[in-house]
Chains A and B, each alone.
Chain A
Amino acid sequence: MRRRDFLQVAVAGGVGATLGVPAFLRRTWAQGGPIKIGMPAALSGAYAQYGIQAKRAAELFSKDIKGKGILGRPVEFIYEDTAGDPATAVRKAQKLVEKDGVKFLTGVALSSEALAVSAKCPEWKVIFMSTINGAGALTAKAWHRYFFRVNTSGPMGARAISLYLAESPMKRFFALGSDYAWGRDSVGSFTTQITAAKKDIVGTDYPPVGTKDFASYIAKIRQSRADGVYLALPGQDATIYLKQAHQFGLNREVKPIMEILELENMKAVGDAMVGAIGSSRYPFTVDTPRNREFVKRFHDLHGVYPDMFDGETYEGLEWLAQVITKAGTDDVDKVIEAWEDSSYDGLEGPFFMRKCDHQAVQLGFAVEAVKDPKYPHPIPKILATYPGEKVTPKCRTEEFS
């Protein structure tokens, strides 16, 4: 099919032949056909690991509902690679909507992509389900009724770890956030909350995304005599920081506190990561019957343990299926109504989609990277669990009461 569409554009571009009809016919057929979910995900490039997690979750979900479908209709996932670029993400999303007729978009990896794609969704009249995007603005300034966030947001993660640190003996903190929206927002939330807990921020820095050498920052952190360093660095940057801080012997002096404590980092950094604490949006070690089963199924299919966005994307898909079933249709407006103020029994606990800003209220976790002989890499051990009401910001804001 795709090859022919390409030829259509190519041929029509050259001679203007009338070849647009098949696409139009396919569109009408789609109405009663499968329920299509579009995933414009970063599958290549520097952020590929996040898009790949979303895809893995979707693959497991497809397998789990095989034969059943949703409303008796098969579910079809259509993946498009955005390479982590917002312009490409919008183009691919538009293609998914206009050509494939998807009504649900998910799997978008970067906040910048999410903000660009989400802004178009009211025009396209499709639902944007975030399972990865942390930017607080998505449920605040940039919010609209077609947007739903199933995952824990950046400010929520900062909240969870701040609640944990408020009880800890550590007093002085250095904040290191990547120089882009997520890094800066997270450091902002962390600073507000740590200061409110009567503790000190002794230094703040924003290294550029893609920093290869953290030596200068490591020197500053050491000189600040902080007890802990709060890190809001994306995957690879965090890996490099932790490796280098270990070589400088800094991790023993200043405890790393991660905005998100990912398996991805633990695999790459290895034992040097043990002892790091942080928040987790979904720690695969949560001990609930549902989650134990999920982890087993996931490991059977993919041969690895599920990382945060594997879990969160799977939950999003399961919840979406539940809501479509409840609505009795995949009509976008009816699905939005059915989703608002609905509850879902997630892998790690209960979820509630509040109507006012479509942020899913859910448990918050503080975790620590520990060694366990049963696993080939360090794993997140749960230190504390916080109820949804305590870690979710006030409606349509990034602030907590």
Chain B
Amino acid sequence: MTRSRVLGLAALVALVVMPWVLARHQLSLLTDLLIFGLFAMSLDLIMGYTGMVSFGHAAYFGLGAYASALVLLDFAQPVPVALLAGALLAGVVALPVGWFSTRATGIYFAMLTLAFAQLLYTVAYKWRDVTGGSDGIAGVPKTALFWGGPGLASPQAFYFLVAACVVLSLVLSLAVVGSPFGRALQAIRENERRFTSLGRDPRPFKLVVFVLAAVFAGLAGALFAPFRGFASPEVMFWVFSGQGLMMVIIGGIGTLVGPILGAMVFILIQEVLSSYTEHWMIFTGAVFVLIVIFLPGGLVGTARRLGARG
């Protein structure tokens, strides 16, 4: 077995035993971290494998959260139905957005995705009858696993659902980037001109991965709504998109696993520092600066380099 397989297996075992190891609030925190980890991982699919920086990824997380909240609260369907609805809605909306945005590249692509995300944010903010406006939708229940099936209200049950979703999404994403399709994406990232000169159009590839990333982000949002019990416009705001970028960079761009860890570190740093001081932003900022300067590949990239050296 390769080293990465061993590490992967160890991580899987660790995830399974966590509910017996951690105190209740730690398990809640870990569930939260995994949800944001999934969000960051989905962003890495576009950022890390095609080089396109989306500044509007929060919109798809938010769409997933709203869809899930409505399905659970108004239609009382089982959680997996809500997850499906969230992922689907995010994907469907990402299709036209991606079609327009992939016309541009670089910072212009980032700004187009931002523009569309703010448009979607405004819809969520203004469509008060459906979304509850600025207050959002509160009191979203954790319903059952399937019709008449066991409830997911216990922290352990919901944790396992989240962990399963994250692991499955990760495995699926790894398969995608390892496939011929994934290699085409990386060819685009490395040299888009050459790719075009080989007679192939890069845009369909970009569009597919953009939609795929939105689907995973939507899934993360759909998990968030029942876990935190609400969906509100803040989860669609550009600030959250920006935070997603931080998570990816901290964890290691183009590694998929890295951003999951990056999200955890990103939130834990703030969580811990903000318990000590209300001026935590100074220290958080300093940590980001140091990470960027001294850990160019993020946590996972740097670890791999050190591993390869040792």
Residues of A within 8 A of B (CB): 2-3, 5-6, 8-10, 12-20, 23-24, 43-44, 79-81, 83, 85-87, 90-91, 94-95, 97-99, 111-112, 115-116, 118-120, 123, 135, 137, 142, 179-181, 184
Inter-chain contact B14/A15, CB cutoff 8 Å: yes
Residues of A within 8 A of B235 (CB): 87
Query: Which of A16, A20, A87, A180 makes the CB contact (< 8 A) with B26?
Result: A20
- A6 to B264: give the CA distance in the assembly, Å: 12
Inter-chain contact A2/B275, CB cutoff 8 Å: yes
**Given the contacts A17-B21, A116-B232, A5 and B26 also touching, CB distance less than 8 Å:** yes
Residues of B within 8 A of A111 (CB): 135
Taking the complex as formed, is B32 at the interface, i.e. its CB lies under 8 A from any CB of chain A? yes
Taking the complex as formed, is B157 at the interface, i.e. its CB lies under 8 A from any CB of chain A? no
Residues of B within 8 A of A44 (CB): 274, 278-281
Query: Taking the nearest CB of chain B, how far is it from the CB of A378, in angstroms?
Result: 28
Inter-chain contact B26/A112, CB cutoff 8 Å: no
Q: Can you add 8 more A-B contacts, CB < 8 Å, to A80-B275, A123-B229?
A: A6-B271, A12-B14, A87-B224, A87-B228, A90-B229, A90-B230, A98-B24, A120-B229
Inter-chain contact A23/B26, CB cutoff 8 Å: yes
Residues of A within 8 A of B275 (CB): 2, 80
Query: Taking the nearest CB of chain A, how far is it from the CB of B167, in angstroms?
Result: 15
Residues of B within 8 A of A12 (CB): 14, 18, 21-22, 26
Residues of A within 8 A of B139 (CB): 119, 142
Inter-chain contact B18/A112, CB cutoff 8 Å: no
Interface size on B, residues (CB 8 A): 40
Closest B residue to A15 by beta carbon equals: B14
Query: Which of B13, B17, B25, B135 makes the CB contact (< 8 A) with A112?
Result: B135
Main secondary structure of the interface of A (DSSP, over half): helix
Residues of A within 8 A of B196 (CB): none
- A8 to B30: give the CA distance in the assembly, Å: 12
Inter-chain contact A115/B230, CB cutoff 8 Å: yes
Taking the complex as formed, is B23 at the interface, i.e. its CB lies under 8 A from any CB of chain A? yes
Inter-chain contact B230/A119, CB cutoff 8 Å: yes
Inter-chain contact A81/B278, CB cutoff 8 Å: yes
Query: Taking the nearest CB of chain B, how far is it from the CB of A338, in angstroms?
Result: 26
Inter-chain contact B14/A115, CB cutoff 8 Å: no
Query: Which of B23, B125, B138, B278 makes the CB contact (< 8 A) with A142?
Result: B138
Query: Taking the nearest CB of chain A, how far is it from the CB of B68, in angstroms?
Result: 14
Residues of A within 8 A of B18 (CB): 12, 16
Query: Which of A2, A90, A99 makes the CB contact (< 8 A) with B276?
Result: A2
List B residues 209-266 near A (Cβ within 8 Å). Answer: 224, 228-230, 232, 234-235, 264
Query: Which of A14, A95, A120 makes the CB contact (< 8 A) with B29?
Result: A95
Residues of B within 8 A of A8 (CB): 22, 26
Inter-chain contact B14/A13, CB cutoff 8 Å: yes
Closest B residue to A5 by beta carbon equals: B26
